[in-house]
Amino acid sequence: MTLAPRRARPGDLARIAQIERATFPDPWSERSFADTIARRGILALVVDGPESRPVAYGICSLSGDEGEILNLAVEPDSRGKGLGRILLRAMVRHLGCSGARSVYLEVRESNNPAISLYEQEGFRVLGRRRAYYGHPREDALTMVLGLGHDGHEKDEGMREIG
C-alpha cells in the first residue's frame, strides 16, 4: 500500500462513493462527488491500497483565504493505519500553500475518533451547528485550524454558529 496521496481521477468516483457509503450514515452520492470535484478551488485526493484502488479519500476547498475540509474517509478495513492523518496533512499543506489563513471543517459530535485526530493535528472547536446532520439527526462541531504567516496556529475562540 502506497501512503502517498494522489489527485483523484474521474475513474475513482465510484470507489470514493463506495467508501463514503461504508463510512457515513447519510452519504454523498457519486453525482455529488462529481459535481463537487468539478468546481473551481477543489482538491480531491486519494490513497491507494494494495490493489491500486483508493482505500481513503479527502476533499478540500479554498475560497479567498479560507480553506475547508469538505470530506475525509477511510474504508473500514484500512482504518488505524494513519491514512486519515496523511490525507488531512496533505490537504492542510495544500490549502496553506494556496493562501489559506484558516482551515475549517464540520464533524459529527459523536465521531470521537475524527475529533481526536483533528485535535491532535491542531484543530480547535470553534462552535456547534445544531441539527446539522439529518440521518441520524445530530449536531456538528465546527473546528478550525488557524494558519499564521509564519505557519503557526492562531487561537480562535468558541462560539455558536447559526
Active-site positions?
A: 106, 118
- DSSP 8-state class, residue 11: G
Rounded to whole angstroms, the Cα distance separating 15 from 5 reads 15
- DSSP 8-state class, residue 103: E
Continuous segment of H or E residues that includes residue 145: strand 137-146
Give the list of residues 6+ apart from residue 89 with CB closer than 8 angstroms, or none.
Answer: 121
3-state helix/strand/coil string of 48-96 = ECCCCCEEEEEEEEEECCEEEEEEEEECHHHCCCCHHHHHHHHHHHHHH
